[in-house]
Amino acid sequence: MMTRQNYLLAWLFIISIILCLVMNHVVFTLPSWALTEKISIEQEKNILSASNSHHYAHIKSKLFSNSDQSQCLQTKYSPFASQAYSTQTYRKVIAKHLSLLEGKTTNIDYKLNSIINDLGELQMMEIQNYHNQDCQLTLVKNQVRNLTVSKVNTAIFNSIILNEKTAIIARFPRANQKLKLHWINIDSQTFREKVNQFRRGLENYGDIIYNPQLAQQLYDWMIRPFANDLETLEINTLVFIQDGILRSIPMAALHDGEKFLVEKYAIATTPSLSLTNLQTSKQNKVRALAVGLTQSAIVEGRRYEALKNVATEIREVKRQIPNSKQLLDQNFTRDRLKSELRETFYPIIHIATHGEFGQHPDETFLVTGDNQKLTITELDNIFRNISYIHDSVDLLLLTACESAIGSERAALGLAGVAVQAGVKTALASLWSINDAATVKLITEFYEAWCHSGVTKAEALRIAQRSLITNGGQSSHPAYWAAFVLVGNWL
């Protein structure tokens, strides 16, 4: 017969097991940014390596249980949708994680990978905040594997701007993935001012000869610390996952003292690898819907000037891509676009009209031929309805758009074009270029991508480099640097 003391010992043993299970559940289900609210930095450092990878595996296994490619993620299922944890809290936690790595150069790859995962969640959180938490994000897994087996030697650059400094993390996805951390020891205000000055200089058409001083300074801060690695590993493509104000500038225009960055590397940007579908397109089935506005327009009291080169641009699209169709001026309306895309699948949608990337989704829009706004939200609805019937749009081109200098939220609008609309790749302009140089650049891009079999990023590099090397007015960055590739660069 069991004594009272044995009963007590048995109950204590059972309670201890329950407590262990409860504690284990807490440690392995809370994300790293939530743990910081409960524990000290030193404790978090010890738990990070054990908890973070399990947390991500747990989330991804739920998201992708029925598909190897992608599933639509509603905000309510998102692990980062909770309003209890602001983006500022998230940034503070990432800053603490990074501070633990200062002065260390060995055995940090695992921790950097963990920080990159946290950056990915932060970036998706910011995109959802921009869209008022009501957008759908399409997550794609196995991207590191896809990069490893890709024929393109790609380096991925992540950035995060902190109060006192900025961190740049470079990844070189090979069989043995290499990571490297570099600090830019400039406070955020000074760094922001330099970035905005760089952007203003790029848009200054009045400068006959471009002064690359600021472009060189940004190159020295962001690229030069990794230059030897890029050379040794024979990297040919750079992909940037930018933070804050860095989203508003074209990295192609950075300068090493001799050449622009795009003269050496194909360049693309993406809001997150988890949001980028890296499946390559079947170019033997290329067909485009080319729409545009050649006439002046007045929308809500604001006048938009006529785009004198759009007609030529649309003709070039039709010449380069067989079986294409055009909708110009009065034929370019919301209803006509929706009807055309519902009836026929176009892998490429080329839109040459005034557009703006604004502070809010309803301020991010395109101008249609009937003097109306086509907002990014409406465009998203059109494309998502298409995806139920046809495949995803491979490439969306927006050739006369612009975003305000210094607006971080407007830059999120550009990212949202690719992400929220669900297209694989968006090629868009950061500022409007009402010049024949745009026609030449677009023609060179299509010729390289459709007929030479190169990647989209390489096709854009060829087109931009063509304007640079031809000399004359169009070699100024104002005429070629505005175009940025967002999303799938393959």
Structural domain count of the chain: 3
**In what helix (H) or strand (E) does residue 20 lie, and over which residues does it extend?**
helix 4-29
**Judgement on whether residues 271 and 289 belong to the same structural domain of the protein:** no
| Whole-angstrom distance, CA of residue 30 vs CA of residue 43 | 14
Is 68 inside any structural domain?
Answer: yes
Q: Say what the pTM is.
A: 0.82
Q: Which residues contact 458 (CB under 8 A, 6 or more apart)?
A: 236, 237, 266, 448
Residue 404: HSE in the Cβ half-sphere, 13 Å Cα cutoff: 10
DSSP assignment, residue 163?
A: S
**Judgement on whether residues 343 and 428 belong to the same structural domain of the protein:** yes
| Whole-angstrom distance, CA of residue 20 vs CA of residue 22 | 5
Q: Any alpha helices (H) in 203-346, and if so which ranges? A: 213-222, 227-232, 310-320, 334-343
**Judgement on whether residues 212 and 296 belong to the same structural domain of the protein:** no
Q: CA-CA-CA-CA torsion for 345, 130, 238, 391, nearest 10 degrees?
A: -20
Structure tokens belonging to residue 452: 């030479």
**Judgement on whether residues 310 and 449 belong to the same structural domain of the protein:** yes
Residue 77: HSE in the Cβ half-sphere, 13 Å Cα cutoff: 15
**In what helix (H) or strand (E) does residue 407 lie, and over which residues does it extend?**
none
Domain span at residue 238 reads 145-275
**Judgement on whether residues 65 and 179 belong to the same structural domain of the protein:** no
| Whole-angstrom distance, CA of residue 405 vs CA of residue 289 | 30
> pLDDT 10s per residue in the chain (490 long)?
455 555 555 555 555 544 444 444 433 333 433 333 333 333 443 433 333 434 334 333 333 333 333 333 333 334 334 433 578 888 899 999 999 998 887 788 889 999 999 998 888 888 878 776 555 566 665 555 455 545 579 999 999 999 999 999 999 976 557 899 999 999 999 999 999 999 999 999 888 889 999 999 999 999 999 999 999 999 999 999 999 999 999 999 999 999 999 999 999 999 888 888 888 766 555 899 999 999 999 999 999 999 999 999 999 999 999 889 999 999 999 999 999 998 999 999 999 999 988 878 788 899 999 999 998 888 888 887 776 667 788 999 999 888 877 777 777 776 666 666 678 899 999 998 878 999 999 999 999 999 888 999 999 999 999 999 998 899 999 999 999 999 999 9
User: What's at 430, amino acid-wise?
Assistant: L
Q: How far is CA 60 from the centre of its chain?
A: 20
DSSP assignment, residue 168?
A: E
Is 138 inside any structural domain?
Answer: no
Is 36 inside any structural domain?
Answer: yes
**Judgement on whether residues 152 and 118 belong to the same structural domain of the protein:** no
Strands (E), 286-336: 288-292, 297-299, 302-304, 325-328
Number of residues written out for the chain: 490
User: What's at 259, amino acid-wise?
Assistant: K
**Judgement on whether residues 261 and 296 belong to the same structural domain of the protein:** no
